Amino acid sequence: MSVSDQMKAFEKRITELEQENKRLHDTVAYLTKQLFGKRSEKTSSLSKEQVSLFDELPSVFDEAETEANAKMPEPDLQEEAAKFAKKRYKGQRKDQISHLEHVKKVYHRLKGDRSCDTCGTELVAVGEEFVRSELEFIPAQVRVIDYYRETLECRNCRKNDRSYMEKAELPDPVILHSLASPSTLAWIMHQKFVNAIPLYRQEAEWQMLGVSLSRATMSNWLMVAARDWLLPVVERLHQELVKETYLHVDETPIQVLQEEGRKNTTDSYMWVYSTGQYGTHPIRLFEYQPGRGGNYPKKFLKGFQGYLHTDAYRGYDKVEKIVRCYCWAHVRRKFVDVLPKDVKSPEATMAAQGIQFCNELFAMERALASSSAKERYQERLTKQLPALEAFWSWADSALHTLPPKSKTSEAIQYAVNHKAGLMNYLKDGNCSISNNLAENSIRPFTIGRKNWLFSGSPRGAAASAAIYSLIETAKANGLNPHRYLEYILGDLPGVPFRQYPDSLDDYLPWNPDIQKKCASTKTGK
């Protein structure tokens, strides 16, 4: 081998090592950020120089440049900041407590101190002066309801040796041979699945109230109540969900103990299925499954035809007769993850441009939130389609200039690989640009999981899914989840819904009576 060939080989090897070093450096920075960095995706620190990707589209992105006027005075920064400050109005505090019970306390002068300091004449009350209002916290009370029923007898029949007696009707118990009441069960559910308070901590709180209520007992109560009274309502909601045309799906790991033939450390999954932002009724359904295979959503969504919003997980391809809409929030997250700590460095330019494109795309979507489906469809084709075409052109060009295995090129390649699914939201004005709706629905579950860590059994995981389904669906329909659960648990046990399935419609969260009885308390102006 000649000297020149050796030099070329050395130079090639040096280039390869430099690229490998850069990849390793990026990987360390990425993992360090994932482990210790902020979880926020805010990118307000990006400079203007980094976000010039779409200068060729002034009608879409550069309104600031086209509308600039050098003669306009500089804005008053204090005045501008005041616009974004929390607005207060006269009587705001009064409005915040107007819905609460008010107890009037009048303080009187002592009996021996009700005379005039000048002449000694006894003072006479002429009015009262309001001084202030205070919130008083009343700790929870626990009491026992002893149920009795009246017995009636016909005395005339008794005289004729015909015994005839009647007894008053009682409400059916929510759990037979148990101290559980609808209010107790609803509170335990609310504490665990809304406030993320695990049962062992609730056990201590009950003990402070003078009740010895073990976590094992509460766990059994939750499973029985969910099986007997909540699951029928969830199944009825499931029937309504698959009738929709636009759905969102997401899944997250859950550790479940005592699964047959599986180790306790094996990941199971909690799936969430949600109706779309512009659907008929808001529905959020959770389902526990021992795996992440595509057969689970395929089975759950049997009968559904329409647009399915998901991440890029290929398992959803098994669901038949659907159009998959991928999530642009995932694309943005890929760019945020690879953004260096020093956002002004040259390495940050590509990632920053990708982030800015997504920011502009989401800004245009927010402007269309109140538009009709037809208007949204037309506006997307007019404004967003040209921007998308510019993005794909930029992405193809960037892939030829970046090292093939760099983190930034991987983020761009992710978008390019899923181009078709990312463009599908343009097909219908009722489609969404992201899968954030499903991700936001599953977030309360992930928060609770940090506290209670695992489910003790598959039955427990299924019960949790049913309870989360009703709680999140209640929230989405403007209901107070605690009131909604208490109403179902108190009323449904006396309803023959298995013989008359249509009676379950009276317990759906958009039913007018449910809306009236279980509406969230609204405060403020």
Of 310 and 37, more confident = 310
SS3 call for 155: helix
Identity of the residue numbered 141: Q
Phi, psi for 467 (deg, rounded to 5): -70, -45
SS3 call for 122: strand
Closest CA to 356 of 3, 42, 22, 85: 42
CB 354 within 8 A of CB 411: yes
- pLDDT value at position 110? 87
Of 136 and 271, more confident = 271
82: pLDDT strictly greater than 60: no
As a whole number, mean pLDDT of residues 210-237 equals: 96
73: pLDDT strictly greater than 60: no
CB 242 within 8 A of CB 249: no
Poorest-pLDDT segment among 2-6, 75-79, 317-321: 75-79
Residue pLDDT, tens place only, 261-279? 888 888 999 999 999 998 8
If pLDDT is split at 50, 70 and 90, which confidence band does 21 have?
A: confident
26: pLDDT strictly greater than 90: no
Buried b (16+ CB within 10 A) or exposed e, 18-31: eeeeebeebeebbe
Two structure tokens written together for 152: 């009636």
If pLDDT is split at 50, 70 and 90, which confidence band does 117 have?
A: confident
Poorest-pLDDT segment among 135-139, 150-154, 226-230, 306-310: 135-139
Two structure tokens written together for 493: 């046990």
If pLDDT is split at 50, 70 and 90, which confidence band does 492 have?
A: very high
7: pLDDT strictly greater than 90: no
Of 250 and 137, more confident = 250
If pLDDT is split at 50, 70 and 90, which confidence band does 15 have?
A: confident
Question: DSSP label at 175?
Answer: S
How many residues in the chain? 525
219: pLDDT strictly greater than 60: yes
- pLDDT value at position 176? 92
- pLDDT value at position 84? 47
Question: DSSP label at 249?
Answer: E
- pLDDT value at position 524? 37
* Cβ neighbour number for residue 65 with a 10 Å cutoff: 9
Residue pLDDT, tens place only, 380-435? 999 999 999 999 999 999 998 888 778 889 999 999 999 999 999 999 999 999 99
Whole-number mean pLDDT of the chain? 86
> pTM of this prediction?
0.80
As a whole number, mean pLDDT of residues 55-60 equals: 44
- pLDDT value at position 180? 94
Phi, psi for 77 (deg, rounded to 5): -60, -40
- pLDDT value at position 264? 87
Phi, psi for 481 (deg, rounded to 5): -60, -35
SS3 call for 492: helix
Two structure tokens written together for 225: 């109540």
Phi, psi for 163 (deg, rounded to 5): -75, 125
